[in-house]
Amino acid sequence: MAYFSRIISFSLIFLLVALACEARILLQSPGLVQTRNTHQAVASRLMVCRTCAFNDGGSQALQISPGVYDERDFQGLDFVISEARKNGVRLILSLCNNYKDFGGRPQYVSCPRNAGAPVNSDDDFYTNEVVKGYYTFSKVLTRINTITRVAYKDDPTIVAWEMINEPRCQVDYSGKTLNRLIQEMASFVKSIDSNHLLTVGMEGFYGDSMAEKKAINPGYQVGTDFISNHLIKEIDFRTIHAYPDLWLSGKDDSTQMAFMQRWTTSHLADSETIIKKPVIFSEFGKSSKDPGYSLIARDSFSNAVYTNIYNFARSRGIGGGLVWQIMAEGMQSYDDGYEIVLSQNPSTSGLITQQSNKMIALDHV
């Protein structure tokens, strides 16, 4: 766990999904834009990248159909890992998405539904035995990188696997349904790969195991239980996300920041007193699509979050913070309002570099 703390303490999200999803382009012209952006990230002293190891169904899919992968696109993911290795960047790789973007949970459920199997909703992803058989992830875990010749499960460039980005379950808000799946899948992943850390990929919403904690939520539940879901022994560290501009839409900045403070404080206290596992702030951001948005407001928000992370890291050992989302130049088709292009956002880039330096300094205290 000490090694985890050193790595994560200076990290952010660095979206390289285009590398994995557009392997055909990369094989013809080996990722010049994305590689250049990797150098910019390294220059900002960013050492950990969280990105996708999935693209299920649809255009230029990595996983064409359940268990069937496109080799050329898989080589794009090989390239991502190889470039990270050359630049001294460690990776947190997410294995699945909760949302329809790049396939995700809806794509897995659609396969048996299209075949006429009885599927009620996307939440059958968590309980339907046929659907669960589709997402074992074993072919990703055991993949031999065509560039480095190292199996993913043995590659130290990968620091952790994330089971699913922001899981949610509408049919059971208690968190119990999701808990059963996490236990099952975490045990399976660890049976193949015991070398790497494993996390769920949660936002941090509380469930029924400690009912009083639900007051910390932004007014609703999403079917996860931050406490019980992370007490599963195979889960090595916890994650929280925070989007007060979405979760408290229409509220003023001071209300959103007050929520952010409560959200952060509560989860870090849980780490120390209940769960006793490391935690990283693995997504946060402020959208340019928000009413009244300004770059100054975004930088102010990010600085406040970074200040909290640094203060907690100095006194309590939080792993670090990963901003959503760093993009390469020329990736406008992936813009979602939260994108940050380092070369085009000097004030934000400077803020990120400053935070990275401060967190690195803590590692040497």
Instruction: Let me know if 166 is a catalytic residue.
Output: yes
- In angstroms, the CA 268 to CA 94 distance is 23
What residue has token string 């889960």? Answer: 235
Distance CA 333, CA 330 (A): 8
Active-site choice (22, 83, 162, 166):
166
| Active-site residue flag, 339 | no
Higher pLDDT, 153 or 21: 153
pLDDT tier, 116 (very low <50, low <70, confident <90, very high otherwise): confident
Q: Which residues 6+ apart lie within 8 Å of 160 measured at CB?
A: 92, 93, 196, 197, 198, 199, 236, 237
Confidence of residue 108 (pLDDT cuts 50, 70, 90): very high
Query: Mean pLDDT for the chain?
Result: 86
- Amino acid identity for residue 119 in this structure: V
Q: Helix (H) and strand (E) counts for the chain?
A: 14, 10
Is the peptide bond prior to 170 cis by the omega test (within 30 degrees of 0)? no
- Tell me the residue length of the chain: 365
- Which distant-in-sequence residues (6+ apart) come within 8 Å of 120 by Cβ? none
pLDDT confidence of residue 317:
60
From the list 22, 83, 203, 283, the catalytic residue is 283
Q: What percent of the chain has pLDDT over 90?
A: 65
d(CA 53, CA 281): 20
Contacts of 323 (CB under 8 A, 6+ apart): 12, 13, 283, 284, 285, 302, 340, 352
Q: pTM for this structure?
A: 0.89
Asked whether the predicted pLDDT for residue 32 surpasses 90, the reply is no
